[in-house]
Structure formats: C-alpha cells, structure tokens
Structure 1
C-alpha cells in the first residue's frame, strides 16, 4: 500500500508540513525507518532523532520542531501511528466457513462470514454472530453466545452459558468461565460450592493470552466495555470490572471485587476480595490493595499509599543499612556519655 502525506493527514485529521505529495509505503521507528517509511515522535526526549531519521516523513505533535522534515502534525502522534498500523498492516482474511476438521454440533446458530478452523469445537446451543473467527483448538461449551466481529485465537475456552460481546479479541489459551474458587469447610475437608453463574464480556474488550476469568458462583462476573486485559491475569468469580480499564500482566483480582471505570492496574498488582475501587484510579506495579479505594487517586506500595509518598519512602530503602549503622553508633555514643555523666555525679534530671 502506498499513500501520500495528504491522504494520510486527511485520514488522521492532521496537518501536513512540507511536501504533501510525498508518498510512503510503510511504517517504522525513528531509528529504523527507511526512505519510503513514515515514523512518529511521541516522547519529547527523542525529539533530536527527528533531525537524523531516514524516514520520508514524521508524525509530530502540534508545535513540534520539524527540523526541515516533511511532517504531519497531530494532537496525539502515538494514537495516529496506531491507526496507521491498522490501515497498513492489519489485513482481514476472507471468511473460510466451517473448515474440515472443525466440530459444530446440531442446534448451533451461525451468522454470516464466519471462519471456524480445524480442531475448533462448538457445542449445541451456541450462537455465533457475523464475522466470527474461531482458530484451531477453540472450545465453546453449550449455550455460549458470541457477538459480531469476534476473534478467538487458538486454544481459547469459553465455558457454558457465557456471553461474549461485539468486536472482542481473546488471545491464545485464555479461559473464560472456569469454575470460581469456592469451597465450604466441612470438618478437615473442603466441600466444593457449585459455580452456577456466568461471565459476560462486553463490547470491545481484549483479553490476553493465558488469562482466566472465573464464572460467578451466582449471577455474573462482568468485564466492562472497552477494557483491555493483558496476559496471565486472573479475575476471580463475581468480580465486576468497569469500562475502559487497563489491567496489566500478572494482576490478580480476588472474588466479588468491583473495579470502577478507567482504572489502571500495573503489572503484578494484587487486589483483595469483596472491596471496591473507584473510577480513574491508577495502581503502580507490584502493589497490594487490601481495602476500598476512592476515585481519582494514584497509589503504589504494599499496602498501597499515595504514589508520591511511596516514591519518597522507596528512596529511603537503599539507605536503611547505613542508617542502621549510624543508629547503632549513636546508641553506643549516648551510652558512653551517660556513663561519663554518671561517673561525674551529674544529675540528668
């Protein structure tokens, strides 16, 4: 695909600086782009590379120095470049229907232009929307409902009765609707509590590879519209995750927790069960969340505290050994002074 800067600027809603008739055929980084590529600057600390990149043109934020280069000025160069990656690189394959080697039970409702690859298994009562793609090894249990424009990559499992919205992407090996971790004590043993709820994944959600979302014991575990979940994330039963969240790799969210809208959880954050996290909260990586959190906060640490306080505290950690030595020396010196005072008969009171 080849496009002129004028065409790209119109597509992005940006403004051309320089020769709008220059054409580009690909995309690249500031360091690696070639003379027929388009690149972008999102972080100001790399601004000097605009002068040295070999790219035909650069996507820049409004007001940035162009260094005499052809450029497209946009409010958000990173977003603009992401849209161009979709335009240049993402190719939707033509639908292939139900391929030999796929198993589709009787009583399945199938929309238009689906692709079901060999090794996929679709149980009775499943409903598939239009333009659904099921890659090899996908397993849909009875009664699953899948919306339009959904892609389930290899070895995804969706358990009985769960519902997947429109434009959802689920990466390899993820499990939706496995049993929640629920057991009642029975003397020295544990009695399994049947998990009879479902999982609802709303529109425009993406779930990463080998992540798990447990079905509710009763009612629904819900992943809100537009939320993005990274690889190796655990969402326990009866959780409700709000809209447009960002949940990074290895996060664990315990059961019956409610997470608000536009919440970001950094990698390896651990969240206790039966708590509520408000809207627009950001939690730093490796933090522990033991209780409720009000909206509009940035927190880090174990347990979490305001992020700025955590930064100050973390700056002290490396100094603790030396501070300990100083404290011991001071204690020794105080003891010596007290001994001298006692020998001199000085009354310290």
Structure 2
C-alpha cells in the first residue's frame, strides 16, 4: 500500500517542503531510513540524521529550520511525534485483519453472553457468569474467570489471566502474560514465626482506555477493590498491589512497583523501576525519575528523583557532590593528618 506526500500532508494538515509526488510504502527510524519509507524527527538530539537519512519523507515540527541541504521531502506539522503516531494508527487499521468468531478447541461456559463480532481464540477459557461486550478480542490461551466483565472493543492478548470478578472497561488492552485480579500479598504473622494467609476477597477494576503491559500484575483488593482509572497506560513488568487507587491518564514505565493501599492521582509519569511504599498518596502531575524510591506522600506538580526521592534540583546537586566524595575523603584524611601534626608541636 503506497501513500503520496500530498495524501499524508492532507491527512495531517501538514505543509510539504520538497517533492509532493514522492511515495512511501513503509515507515522507518530516521537513522535507519530507506528509500520508500517515512520517518519523523521530534527530538533535536537526532537532527544530524535528517541530513543523511535515505527516508523519502520525514515528518518535522513546523518550527524546524534546517542548517544544510536535505534530500528527503519534509512534511511540517504541529507535533511530529503525535503526527507519526496518528499515521501508525491509520496504518494498523488499514493492514490489520480483525478476527471474529470462536475458534476450537476453546471453552465458553454455558449462558455467557457474547457481544457482536467477538473473537475467542483457540484454547481460551471463559468462566461462568462472565459478560463479554461487542468486538472484544480474546486471543488464544487466555483465561477469563467467573463473573468477569469485559467492555466493548477491548483486547486480551494471548496467555493473559483474568481472575474471577474482575471488571475491564471499554477499549482496554491487556497484553500477553499479564495477570489481573490475583491475590494481594497479605499474610498475618503468627506467634511461632510462621505466616497465615489473609483471604483476598476484593476485585480489580480497569476503567475505560486502560492499557496493561506484558507480564504486569494488578492484584485484587483484600476487601473492596484495586482500581486503575481511565486512560492510564502501564508498561511491562509492573506490580500494582492490593487496594491501590491509580488515577486517570498516568503513565508507568517498566518495573514500577506500587505497594498496597497507595493512592496515585492523575497525569503522573513514573520512569522505570520507580518504587512506592504502601499507604501513601501521590498528587497530580508528578514526575518520578528512574529508580526513585518514594516512602512518603508527594504533593502535586513536583519532579522528584533519587532514593529516597527528593526534588530534582536537590537530587542533581547531591549527585554531583557524591561524585567528589573520594576526593573529599582524601582531603579530610590529609587535613586530619595536618591537624594531628599541629597538635604535636
């Protein structure tokens, strides 16, 4: 499938600089661009690639001004990254064949209502009392437990496990290996030093437009529920513990871990390996840098880094000081020696 520069510019509302008749049939990274592909430039650190890329078309921001000749045709848009994402979405819609029907062998419990145009892949299991909405995609080897509800247009990829009682909203995506609604980590210490399991009788809830990455776990509530609110996107290998309340439109990168009963607000960004202690509250519009450790509540509109996490400017100053610790240790030892010498006089 080929697209002309004029078609792409028209779809994106962009401005063409160069050959308006050039065609592309695939996409590429700007540093790996080949003839017949479309790339994008959003990060200034990659600007040097635009002068040597073989990509036929490159999306750039309207503010971009080249400092030397470029062989590729440019399409200037308001936001090159968002424009590229829109094109990828269009490409996927045009090239992906949506499956329908129930493959065999699979098991759908008697009386389970399936919506229109549902796909159930081979070896999938759907338990009693489940409710499956319209155009839901349940891929092979998925386990859907009893009394699970899945909203319209949601996708559950191969091998995901959805525990009983879980509620999944509309347009959600649960990637392979994810487990939603598993037991929270609750054990009562006994007098003899052993631990007695505390039954976990709550559920997990994913609101609309939530995405859960591969091998991520969202535990059910001990009582009540664990909830991921609408629009939140969670990467691979993330742990959300029991009774957490995760707000709207957050993004969590890989290996984030959030301990039980923690409440996270809206529009937050947690980088990789961020860890949050239990029973704390994080406000809105908070950014936590990679490997930050948070053990107490955080107010809104902050950027924190480090373990324990502190304000980013302080963290950078502390990091700079840390680099000089070996020299400072040597200086202190020398000063101590000099002081001892003075005392002996």
Name the TM tier (shorter chain). over 0.9
CA contact (8 A) 1:139 1:157 kept: yes
1:311 aligns with 2:311: no
Once the two structures are superposed, residues 112-159 of structure 1 have per-residue CA deviations (whole angstroms, 9 ceiling, x without a partner) of: 111111111000111111111111211011000001111111111111
Q: Is the 8 A contact 1:26 1:88 kept in 2?
A: no
- Structure 1 unaligned blocks of 5 or more: 341-349
Counterparts of 1:277 and 1:228, CA distance in 2: 17
1:211 matches 2:225: no
Query: Is 1:156 paired with 2:127?
Result: no
Separation of aligned partners in 1, 2:124 and 2:47: 48
- Structure 2 SS opposite 1:299: strand
Q: Distance in 2 between matches of 1:126 and 1:283?
A: 38
Alpha-carbon distance, 1:312 to partner: 1.5
Quick one: distance in 2 between partners of 1:193 and 1:336?
A: 65
Q: Residue in 1 aligned with 2:27? A: 27
> What residue is the counterpart of 1:50 in the other structure?
50
Inter-partner Cα distance in structure 2 for 1:49 and 1:190: 58
What corresponds to 2:85 in structure 1? 82
Structure 1 position 104, deviation (Å): 0.5
Which stretch of structure 1 is more off in the superposition, 210-219 or 15-24?
15-24
Measured in 2, the distance between the counterparts of 1:13 and 1:214 equals: 44
Residue 121 of structure 1: aligned partner: 125
**Deviation per residue, 1:283-319 (Å, 9 max, x gap):** 1111110100000000011111111111111122232
CA distance in 2, matches of 1:183, 1:236: 14
Shift of 1:98: 0.8
Q: Secondary structure of the residue that 2:290 maps to in structure 1?
A: coil
Q: Distance in 1 between matches of 2:222 and 2:283?
A: 24
Post-superposition shift, 1:83?
A: 1.7
CA distance in 1, matches of 2:301, 2:310: 13
* Cα distance per residue 1:237-283 (max 9 Å; x no partner): 11011111111111110111000101111111110111000000011
Q: Residues of 1 paired with 2:303 and 2:323: CA distance?
A: 23
Looking at structure 1, the residues matched to 302 and 254 of structure 2 have their Cα atoms a distance apart, in angstroms, of 21
Q: Give 1:292's match in structure 2, choosing from 285, 289, 297.
A: 297
Paired with 2:325 and 2:285, the residues of 1 have a C-alpha distance of: 34
- Offset at residue 88 of structure 1 (A): 2.3
Residue 123 (structure 2) pairs with residue 104 (structure 1): no
Please give the root-mean-square deviation of Cα atoms over the aligned residues, in Å: 1.5
CA deviation after TM superposition for structure 1 residue 107, in Å: 1.6
CA distance in 1, matches of 2:252, 2:152: 24
- 1:346 counterpart residue number: none
Cα distance, 1:84 vs structure 2: 1.5
**CA–CA distance in 2 between the matches of 1:37 and 1:101?**
41
Residue of structure 2 in register with 1:130 after alignment:
134
Q: Secondary structure at the match of 2:31?
A: coil
Say which of 238, 263, 267 aligns to 2:268. Answer: 263
Moved more, 199-208 or 271-280: 199-208
Superposition pairs of residues 190-269 of structure 1, within 5 angstroms = 190-269=195-274
Residues of 2 paired with 1:277 and 1:94: CA distance? 39
Q: Within 2, Cα distance between the matches of 1:322 and 1:154?
A: 54
- What is the CA–CA distance in structure 2 between the aligned matches of 1:263 and 1:171, rounded to whole Å? 22
Contact 1:104 1:121 (8 Å CA) reproduced: yes
Q: What is residue 17 of structure 1 aligned with on the other side?
A: 17
Pair member with larger Rg: 1
> Which 10-residue stretch deviates more, 191-200 or 325-334?
191-200
* Structure 1 contact 95–131 (Cα < 8 Å) conserved: no
Q: Is the 8 A contact 1:147 1:164 kept in 2?
A: yes
